Amino acid sequence: MGCRERGYSPVTVVAPYSSYRALLSVPSLGRVLLAMQVARIGQSMVGVAIVLFTLTTYHSAPLAGLVTFASIFPGLIVSPIAGALLDRHGRIRLVVLDFLVALVSLALIGLLSLAYVLPAWLLVLIAAVSSLTGPLSNTGLRSLFPLLVPRRLWERVNAVDANGYIVATIVGPPLAAGSIALWGGPAALILTGCVFGLAALILARTPDPPTETASTGRLLLDAWQGLAYAWRNPTIRGLGASVSILNLSSGVVTIVVPLIILERLRGGEAMVGAVFAISGVFGVIAAFVVGRFDSRGRERAMIALPMLAMGPVLGLLLPANGLALESSVSSLALVAASMALVGLLNGPMDIGIFTIRQRRTDPAWMGRAFAVSISLNYIGYPIGSLLIGWIAATSIDLAIAVGIVAPIVAGVLAQLTIPRSDQASELSQPVRIGGDVLRRRRQ
């Protein structure tokens, strides 16, 4: 998309030895991908279940936004420390730890709710505490791929990575919404916790890949060095500036779409899940098609152009909200069309983001650099959910308007701040940072 605009040659399919089938020969990758897929189904279930649980139990859109914020934001703050831990101690055991924390916290929320001893403040507190280990799995799994997989297969594994979220979008939201409709919110949350427990079992005996790391031997200093490395990497800075702004609009999907369906269209939880699944189906198609092509030199266009298009796509929710009381069929069709197009745009954008970050990060810094980068990119999601939750309580149309503007601003920033081509300085950051000489060691 947009490759000819800057004089690039037409996209060509790479050789068969770089096919999706070649991923099957990578040791341990199958187990990692299976655990990742199960966990992401759990994550997509949480995203829907916690919002529907809060809306149906406490009847408060602002509280739903606050709970979503609390379930993510504290983890983003401690992500540099999580990245340092991943670089120092390996990834598998720390990813498993996060899955177990998710199991315990979701089961605790469900059991306390069943016992009628879950005030709103305690729900927010449990969500906040459980988020602290989130970067261990989010960063740990993603930083495993460039260590396990040969460089020629990065587009392929990144397409599978992106589709891990998308397939989870197809399976998770309907499963969560259906569970709530059948058994209630508490049971749905307990079931979601069990999904994370299954992911932990699958991954538990997987060996960590050997890798080189740069360390001072002091955890907090390593975390600080990771922040410094990320800040000095222009690609990570550009991604952080643009993707974080884009994710401000995520609250429109997380909060506004359920509100339109539940309150305006008088639909059920299963309808919410079905609409999210539509986005996933179209996202799978887009990611697998785009993942077949070499993305080198085209990543910035793959990121910026979908961002710019996302604004008008979310704009379809404005007439959907306006038509809700007059024509429920037309309104639902517009919501479904918006979500389908969101899925199509997310496919190439995710592959562009994942691949450019892998190519422009020193392998010895991948844990810390990825932790900081993912947190910078993702920080707009909890803020957007909190903001949109409060705005939507007053005006759904105003909340959608915020969601329209944010992706357009993000697309402009991506074009301006992400470097056009690889820079050697990004790939070989000096081992001496801030006057400290870092030790490199093999894990």
Please report the pLDDT score of residue 217 as a whole number. Answer: 67
At residue 14, the pLDDT reads 38
Give residue 434's pLDDT: 43
Confidence of residue 211 (pLDDT cuts 50, 70, 90): low
* Percentage of the residues of the chain whose pLDDT score is greater than 70: 87
Mean pLDDT value across the chain: 80
* Pick from 328, 437, 389: nearest CA to 71: 389
Higher pLDDT, 412 or 219: 412
Q: Which one is predicted more confidently, 424 or 281?
A: 281
Q: How confident is the model at residue 214 (pLDDT cuts 50, 70, 90)?
A: low
Residue 442's φ and ψ, nearest 5 degrees, are -90, 140
User: Residue 186 above 70 pLDDT?
Assistant: yes
**CA distances from residue 238 to 81, 83, 356, 376 in whole angstroms, order as listed:** 22, 20, 11, 10
The residue count for the chain? 443
Question: Residue 135 and residue 356: Cα distance in Å, rounded?
Answer: 20
Q: Which residue has the higher pLDDT, 171 or 208?
A: 171
Q: What confidence score (pLDDT) does residue 427 get?
A: 47
Question: Which one is predicted more confidently, 160 or 246?
Answer: 246
27-204+232-429: CATH homologous superfamily?
MFS general substrate transporter like domains (1.20.1250.20)
Confidence of residue 422 (pLDDT cuts 50, 70, 90): low
Domain ranges of the chain: 27-204+232-429
pLDDT, mean of residues 219-241:
86
pLDDT of residue 306: 92
Rounded (5°) CA angle 301-148-283: 40
User: 442: which strand partners?
Assistant: 212
Are the beta carbons of 427 and 362 closer than 8 angstroms?
Answer: yes
3-class DSSP state of 148: helix
pLDDT band at 242 (very low <50, low <70, confident <90, very high): very high
- Which pLDDT does position 304 carry in this prediction? 92
CB atoms within 10 A of CB 183: 12
User: Is the whole-model pTM more than 0.75?
Assistant: no
Write out pLDDT tens, residues 352-400: 888 888 888 887 777 778 888 888 888 888 788 778 878 888 888 898 8
Whole-number Å distance between alpha carbons of 100 and 197: 6
Give the β-pairing of 436-437 and 439-442. Answer: unpaired
pLDDT in tens, 320-359: 888 766 677 888 889 989 989 998 898 888 888 888 888 8
